[in-house]
Amino acid sequence: MTGSTGPALAKLTRRLAETPAEFLGEPRIGDTGTVVAAALVHDLLAGFGVPADGGSLRRFGSRDRRADRNRLALVAILVWLLADDWFAASPPASDRLLRLLDETANDLAQAAPAHSFTTDEERREELARTALASLDLLPEGETVAQATDRLSAVSATERQRLLRASRAAEERARAVREALIRKAAEESADKWTRE
């Protein structure tokens, strides 16, 4: 994260706490639900002057309630967060914006129920910080180091990523140790056969 200065974190967490019921309704999946995530994303992109094609919006529709309900509910919450005046005045890059609404929202939705990002104080901070980091923005008044450290501290997805990286490093170290032991055993066996 190199980051330009973004909005104040307190402003974003307050906005999340005040998410209107219209954005918290049941996501439209198939023939049920009221909140059409694709339409919300379309309106947000249009407000930022970003052309939205059917292909990019297709990701925000679904027929699989079980797989996509939480993700689409979180997309609606993110759209509400990003509809803040600060973002309207400084629209984010479209590729970062779509990645936040698609991939990042999916990762966050796997970590916690969507509505907890509006009701739980730590989750609100996690969502606000994750959104800013995804858009390469820093919370107002924070340095890159402060923002990175705080995001790592509150982010369940970041903790999971670090845990996976730690496990992978541990596995690599174990494989190297086993290879060294095998090599030492082979060298010892060779030494015995020569003598």
Q: What's the average model confidence in pLDDT over 35-46?
A: 93
Tens digits of per-residue pLDDT, 89-107? 999 988 899 999 999 999 9
At residue 13, the pLDDT reads 96
At residue 195, the pLDDT reads 63
Question: In the chain, pLDDT over 90 holds for what percent of residues?
Answer: 53
Q: Are 154 and 129 in contact (CB under 8 A)?
A: yes
| Nearest-angstrom CA–CA distance, 128 and 156 | 13
Q: Are 6 and 86 in contact (CB under 8 A)?
A: yes
Tens digits of per-residue pLDDT, 106-137? 999 988 999 999 999 999 999 999 999 999 99
Q: Are 131 and 82 in contact (CB under 8 A)?
A: yes
Q: Are 16 and 81 in contact (CB under 8 A)?
A: yes
Block residue for tokens 């023939």: 31
At residue 44, the pLDDT reads 94
Tens digits of per-residue pLDDT, 135-179? 999 999 888 888 887 887 777 666 566 567 777 888 888 888 888
At residue 86, the pLDDT reads 95
Closest CA to 83 of 129, 42, 29, 112: 42
Tens digits of per-residue pLDDT, 47-77? 998 887 777 788 888 878 888 999 999 999 9
Sign of CA dihedral 121, 123, 126, 131: negative
Closest CA to 131 of 26, 34, 15: 15
